[in-house]
Amino acid sequence: MVSDIHANLEALESCLAAAPAHDRIVNLGDVVGYGANPNEAVNESRRLNGVLVRGNHDKACSGVMSLEDFNPVAALAALWTREILTPENLTWLRELPQGPVPLQDVEEVQCVHGSPLDEDEYLLVIHDAIEPLLKAAKPLTFFGHTHVQGGFAIRKSRHETLRPTYPSKNGADESTLSLDKGGHYLINPGSIGQPRDGDWRAAFALFDSEKCEVTFLRVPYDLKAAQKRILEAGLPERLATRLAEGR
Ligand code: ZN
């Protein structure tokens, strides 16, 4: 499960190199926007194929959606991205499917960018998540958009926020969550290219449908190289500095 790559090639490559054995890749959207390597991020996503869902930046950068709701920094990055994307990659982004997208062969799972009820909605706190948890068509939804690894659950009639904990923010780490039968889950693998949960390391997750387990992973990457590319591209400086903060 990968999400919010945001054109950060260094982070994407480190995650792919560190990824445990898997059958397929599920990409929850925002392949581009913010980072300096949109074509490379799209090319790699096309090569990986798997299950794909469109994100709001994919829509904005390819002209499917206006930049009206974007803050000035995000809008500048989207305009830069639109300019640099090849016609073929622009077309690929425009044709990405809207969530929810079912996961073939795994009956109970669906994939979205924002919320199961609205592809552009942010599920930041448990209050945002209750209604989608109860109304989602499937008991397990993988989502992205917030760039925060973890998610939300209702199990044994209690609601809770799920956040993996790690001993440090230095090396590679993982944290496994067992899913209860009968529970309702919204699970966010975190953001590959621009984490916002206070941890700079690239985030993704592995879903084991047989064991009913999600393993959250964090992987260090060449942060300085990604920052340098953002500055050299003439993108807003904030997009480089925030990567180090994980904000
Ligand atoms: Zn995003």
Q: What is the pLDDT of residues 10-37, one digit of tens each?
A: 999 999 999 999 999 999 999 999 999 9
**Distance, CA 145 to ligand 1 centroid (Å)?**
5
Q: What pLDDT was estimated at residue 104?
A: 86
CA of 42 to the centre of ligand 1 (A): 14
Q: How far is the CA of 160 from the centre of ligand 1 (A)?
A: 23
Give CA–CA dist 235/89, Å, rounded. Answer: 20
Residuewise pLDDT in 10s, the chain (247 residues)? 999 999 999 999 999 999 999 999 999 999 999 999 999 999 999 999 899 999 999 999 999 999 999 999 999 999 999 999 999 999 999 999 999 999 988 999 999 999 999 999 999 999 999 999 999 999 999 999 999 999 999 999 899 999 999 999 999 999 999 999 999 999 999 999 999 999 999 999 999 999 999 999 999 999 999 999 999 999 999 999 999 999 9
Q: pLDDT at position 106, please? A: 94
Which residue is it, tokens 């923010």?
169
The CA angle 74-121-202, to the nearest 5 degrees, is 60
- Cβ–Cβ < 8 Å for 19, 40: no
Cβ atoms of 42 and 68 within 8 Å: the answer is no
Amino acid identity for residue 34 in this structure: Y
The Å distance, Cα 137 to ligand 1 centre, comes to 23
Question: What does pTM read for this prediction?
Answer: 0.97
Q: How far is the CA of 166 from the centre of ligand 1 (A)?
A: 23
Span from the CA of 58 to the centroid of ligand 1 (angstroms): 9
pLDDT of residue 146: 98
Strand pairing partners for 227? none
DSSP states along 161-191? EE----S-SSS-EEEEEEPPTT-EEEEE---
CA of 99 to the centre of ligand 1 (A): 15
| CA-based nearest residue to 116, from 146, 136, 131, 134 | 136
Whole-number Å distance, alpha carbon 31 to ligand 1 midpoint, is 8
pLDDT of residue 195: 98
